[in-house]
């Protein structure tokens, strides 16, 4: 049986693989499938490297993040998933022959997912052919977990005979992210919009509790440990101190910091912001306001102590 904990790990693993690919993390443990790579290019979240000077740039140039991709990257997970859904609906709607019908089916599927139960399997056979194809697309981004079950077939006639053949059945498990897309999840968690989390988003000081949690987690784990939170201090000499143990966070910082200056401790990473590293980010289409927004969003909570309205010094 698939447990809610298994679904959480699956979602995090799949989504992290997409984000790692987006920022170009070297030696990533898992790469997204070709369909996801095509989607990132199609939605302009990635592009071929404009600075590549090889002979066959169209075929050999590596993929790099775009301005739109970086804006996507610095959002929280819930906003990222919603952005994916909106982009996915736009791609589906681009089909001239079946676009309108497929968009309706996709919206109906997303609404039905919000009324499903976490950890419960649902048969794919209950969906249309287009719906089953959408299952695979949603599974690529960790919204659903699709599994093939082998079921023994008992011969006709009863009598308690032994199964002689087997058949396969496709089922899918909605993840917590899928359940909370349209409405509140069945386990009582509130939505990102319209629920108690609105207060966290609106408050200029409460949202920095995530950074505080990052520091607590980092200090609690003196050895390497995967942390989903980040707390940053930017010093006056442009040295960036990042309390994190996540390679994804390091790759995100490397987009506008000099990776040759990186120094590591068990729970903190040091990098330098230089003129050249920032110019390289500009060449990728990343804007200064996006870098500032990322640093402000993940600023260490101690930076806001004594500041009016929680503003940074």
What is the token pair recorded at 223?
């050895």
Ranges 13-27, 219-233, 260-274: which has the least confidence: 219-233
Scan for tokens 């909106």, then name that residue. 86
What is the token pair recorded at 141?
């981004």
Q: Is 87 strand, coil or helix?
A: helix
- Rounded to whole angstroms, the Cα distance separating 311 from 148 reads 51
Most confident of 73-87, 124-138, 211-225: 124-138
Q: Is the pLDDT assigned to residue 298 strictly greater than 70?
A: yes
Check residues 153 and 280 and name the one with the higher pLDDT.
280
Is 162:137 a contact under the CB 8 Å cutoff? no
Confidence of residue 129 (pLDDT cuts 50, 70, 90): confident
Of 298, 286, 310, 313, the residue nearest 242 (C-alpha): 298
What is the token pair recorded at 150?
């082998």
Q: Is the pLDDT assigned to residue 15 strictly greater than 80?
A: yes
Q: Is 58 strand, coil or helix?
A: helix
Q: Is the pLDDT assigned to residue 310 strictly greater than 60?
A: no
Q: Percent of the chain beyond pLDDT 90?
A: 12
Per-residue pLDDT at 286: 85
Check residues 83 and 60 and name the one with the higher pLDDT.
83
Per-residue pLDDT at 272: 94
Q: How many residues does the chain have?
A: 313
Mean residue pLDDT across the chain? 77
Confidence of residue 194 (pLDDT cuts 50, 70, 90): very low
Ranges 10-14, 42-46, 217-221, 236-240: which has the least confidence: 217-221
The CA-based angle 108-111-117, given to 5 degrees, is 125
Confidence of residue 67 (pLDDT cuts 50, 70, 90): confident
Scan for tokens 């010094």, then name that residue. 313
- Rounded to whole angstroms, the Cα distance separating 33 from 44 reads 17
List 151's β-bridge partners, or say none: 167
- Rounded to whole angstroms, the Cα distance separating 197 from 202 reads 9
- Note the pLDDT tens digit of each residue in 245-288: 888 888 889 889 998 999 988 889 999 999 999 998 888 888 88
pTM of the model: 0.66
Is 50:283 a contact under the CB 8 Å cutoff? yes
- Rounded to whole angstroms, the Cα distance separating 276 from 195 reads 43
Per-residue pLDDT at 183: 56
Per-residue pLDDT at 145: 92
Of 81, 69, 43, the residue nearest 252 (C-alpha): 69
Ranges 28-37, 151-160, 280-289: which has the least confidence: 151-160
The CA-based angle 218-222-301, given to 5 degrees, is 20
Per-residue pLDDT at 56: 66
Phi, psi of 63 (to 5 degrees): -90, 140
Per-residue pLDDT at 276: 93
List 135's β-bridge partners, or say none: none
Q: Is the pLDDT assigned to residue 232 strictly greater than 70?
A: yes
């Amino acid at each position: 049986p698939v447990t809610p904990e298994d679904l959480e790990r699956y979602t995090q693993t799949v989504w992290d693989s997409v984000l790692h690919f987006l920022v170009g993390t070297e030696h990533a443990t898992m790469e997204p499938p070709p369909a996801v790579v095509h989607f990132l290019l199609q939605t302009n979240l990635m592009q071929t490297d404009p600075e590549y000077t090889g002979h066959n740039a169209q075929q050999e140039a590596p993929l790099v993040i775009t301005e739109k991709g970086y804006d996507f990257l610095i959002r929280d997970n819930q906003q990222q998933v919603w952005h994916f859904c909106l982009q996915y609906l736009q791609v589906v709607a681009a089909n001239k022959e079946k676009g309108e019908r497929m968009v309706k089916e996709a919206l109906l599927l997303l609404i039905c997912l919000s009324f499903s139960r976490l950890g419960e399997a649902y048969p794919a056979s209950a969906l249309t052919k287009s719906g089953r194809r959408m299952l695979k697309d949603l599974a690529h981004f960790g919204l659903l977990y699709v599994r093939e079950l082998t079921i023994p077939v008992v011969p006709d006639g009863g009598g308690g005979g032994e199964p002689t053949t087997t058949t396969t059945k496709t089922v899918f498990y909605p993840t917590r992210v899928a359940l909370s897309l349209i409405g509140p999840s069945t386990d009582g968690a509130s939505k990102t919009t319209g629920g108690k989390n609105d207060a966290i988003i609106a408050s200029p000081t409460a949202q920095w509790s995530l950074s505080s949690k990052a520091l607590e987690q980092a200090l609690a784990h003196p050895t390497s440990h995967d942390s989903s939170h980040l707390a940053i201090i930017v010093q006056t000499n442009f040295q960036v101190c990042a309390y994190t143990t996540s390679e994804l966070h390091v790759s995100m910082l490397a987009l506008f910091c000099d990776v040759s200056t990186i120094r590591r401790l068990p729970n903190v990473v040091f990098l330098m912001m230089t003129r050249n590293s920032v110019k390289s980010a500009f060449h990728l289409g990343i804007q200064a306001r996006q870098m500032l927004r990322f640093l402000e969003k993940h600023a260490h909570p101690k930076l806001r102590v004594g500041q009016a309205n929680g503003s940074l010094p």
